[in-house]
Amino acid sequence: MLSLDDPRRHVHVRAERVSAVSSTDYPGHYPDEDHSWNLAQFKDRMSVKVQRLSQKSIDFDLVCVDASIANAFRRIIIAEVPTVCFEFVYVFNNTSVVVDEILAQRIGLVPLNVDPDVMLRRTDPSDQPTDRNTLVFKLKVACEHNPAAPKGATAPSQLYINHEVLSGHLQWEPVGEQESVFENNPPRPTNPNIVLTKLRPGQAVEMDLHAVKSVGKDHAKYSPVATASYRLLPHIILNPEKPIPPHLAEKFQKCFSPGVIRVDPVTKAVSIDPVGVRNDSVSREVLRHPEFEGRVELKRIRDFFLFNIESEGPYAPEQLLPEAIKVMREKLDTIRKAAEALLADTQAMDVDMTMS
Amino acid sequence: MAEEVPKIKIMKGATADLSAATFQIHDESHTIGNALRWMLMKNPKVEFCGYSVPHPSENTIQVRIQMYDKLSSLAALIQALSDLDDLCVAVGDAYDTSLKTDSYERWVEQS
């Protein structure tokens, strides 16, 4: 059942169309087969395997779950895992070339290192800012001539002091109990080198900035990831009846991404690299050549998801899936409580009707 | 203050025994809609299940459930929600185990 060669798991990639896209593992689809929800069986078959981890990104496989589940996790990571970003900008002075609203928008996009768990959300627009739901930053930069500039220098970095306003210039101003809450990890941008605007002598920027907690579906700046995406595992089937002729082996190899096809140096026999095949682009180039017709089939495994998540913000990349699962469970819990209340209501109504 | 919107309500046209009903779930999207539809379709007592987002600027989804044997669609919905929760826990546990015990490539990304 769980072999990659199981035709039920295959999405067919043909020259001009893709077929067998929908999953069929529902009760009633195949006669005399069960397919109803079975947690023990699901736990047995499903697997998650981390493949690659850096300080900013993670690659992992999620196998034997339906696309609706994998997609739910992906969507939640992008749009519903909360982060903290600048939302309110109070401009006291801005004589730079970038106008206030554009500069405010750019500042809003700067990712901060603040753990959203320690902050409350301002859900209602009338909510007052407090030390629990708002972080205050100051931006005060003025550009001037550098008196120590070497003679004949032309670079702005040598001629002027503060010729660029950088994300590193954003200074956090602790309020109330924040000093102790953020003692170990003071709020600051994750990257101090983002250029917000450029200045020339005499120009200055002075602003107060309020950062609040929200989610990506509110504004894309709150999304904790640069990308969160998945692909289906490519699967290439060679026809044993019609092998690739030795003189075409190298041409066949070039139809795929590098590292996907192995060619035996002596016999010129062609085989698929089980690790390299993960990186195939499934370009369908091989299907354009009549000499390969009937010799190869391209598939993808419908329930084999290769996730790639790039974190950009306060979360370590390996924290993002657990956060998404947490958000998903909160959502399910809210709906279930509401549904149970609705069930109690309808039952109470039934009792009323029988009484009267 | 705007009136409190119910998280879930039964839409007009449901049968009296709730064996066929459309539920409107407020403040949800395809994320929950598709996952919930899948889990409901895994229930052999569900004759039909489908969901829709009626309008992209309205923040609701509608889930239609029709049951065999005059069973309650609301009970099936609650069951599906708790099964989905079990699924989430199972995926989370498997991920944590892999992260702790599997050997995988670690690399340093330059920015």
Predicted-complex ipTM score? 0.96
Per-residue pLDDT at B62 exceeds 80: yes
Chain position carrying tokens 């329930």: A303
A56:B111 CB<8 A: yes
Report how far apart, in Å, the C-alpha atoms of A91 and of each of A30, A139, B42 are.
Answer: 65, 9, 56
CB pairs under 8 A between A and B: 151
Contact list, B43 vs chain A (CB under 8 Å):
27, 36-37
Asked which of A102-106, A164-168, A349-353 is least confident by mean pLDDT, the reply is A349-353
Q: What is the 3-state secondary structure (H, E, C) of chain A?
A: CCCCCCHHHEEEECCCCEECCCCCCCCCCCCCCCCCCCHHHHHHHCEEEEEEECCCEEEEEEECCCHHHHHHHHHHHHHCCCEEEEEEEEEEEECCCCCHHHHHHHHHCCCECCCHHHCCCCCCCCCCCCCCCCEEEEEEEECEECCCCCCCCCCHHHHEECCEEEHHHCEECCCCCHHHHCCCCCCCECCCCCEEEECCCCCEEEEEEEEEEECCCCCHHHCCEEEEEEEEEEEEEECCCCCCCHHHHHHHHHCCCCCCEEECCCCCCEEECCCHHHHCCCCCHHHHCHHHCCCEEEEEEEEEEEEEEEECCCCCHHHHHHHHHHHHHHHHHHHHHHHHHHHHHHHHHHHHHHHC
Contact list, B9 vs chain A (CB under 8 Å):
342
Q: What is the pLDDT of residues B10-60, one digit of tens each?
A: 999 999 999 999 999 999 999 999 999 999 999 999 999 999 999 999 999
What is the pLDDT confidence band of residue B1, given thresholds at 50, 70 and 90?
very low
* CA–CA distance, B49 with A7 (Å, rounded to integer): 26
Beta strand A47-53 with B105-106 is parallel
Q: Does A331 touch chain B (CB under 8 A)?
A: yes
What is the pLDDT confidence band of residue B4, given thresholds at 50, 70 and 90?
confident
B94:A68 CB<8 A: no
| Closest CB from A53, A57, A342 relative to B104 | A53
pLDDT for A125 equals 80
* CA–CA distance, B86 with B76 (Å, rounded to integer): 15
What distance in Å separates residue B19's CA from the closest CA in chain A?
A: 13
| Lookup: tokens for A219 | 């504004």
Instruction: Give me chain A's average pLDDT, please.
Output: 95
* Mean pLDDT computed over A284-291: 96
Q: Does A332 touch chain B (CB under 8 A)?
A: yes
A26:B42 CB<8 A: yes
Residues in contact with A200: Cβ distance below 8 Å, sequence separation at least 6, in sequence order: A143, A156, A160, A163
Q: Using the 8-state DSSP alphabet, how is residue B18 labeled? A: S
Per-residue pLDDT at A228 exceeds 90: yes
| Closest CB from B30, B39, B85 relative to A37 | B39
DSSP, collapsed to helix, strand or coil, labels residue B74 as: helix
Q: What is the pLDDT of residues A25-80, one digit of tens each?
A: 999 999 999 999 999 999 999 999 999 999 999 999 999 999 999 999 999 999 99
Q: Which one of B22, B42, B71, B103 would you mutate to disrupt binding with A, by most A Cβ within 10 Å of its Cβ? A: B42
* Mean pLDDT computed over A116-134: 91
Radius of gyration, alpha carbons of chain B: 19
B35:A68 CB<8 A: yes
**CATH code of the domain occupying B8-100:** 3.30.1360.10
* Mean pLDDT computed over A327-336: 97
What distance in Å separates residue B104's CA from the closest CA in chain A?
A: 5
Instruction: Give me chain B's average pLDDT, please.
Output: 95
A48:B108 CB<8 A: no
| Closest CB from A56, A60, A343 relative to B78 | A343
Q: Using the 8-state DSSP alphabet, how is residue B101 labeled? A: H
What distance in Å separates residue A335's CA from the closest CA in chain B?
A: 7
Residues A177/A144, Cβ–Cβ less than 8 Å: no
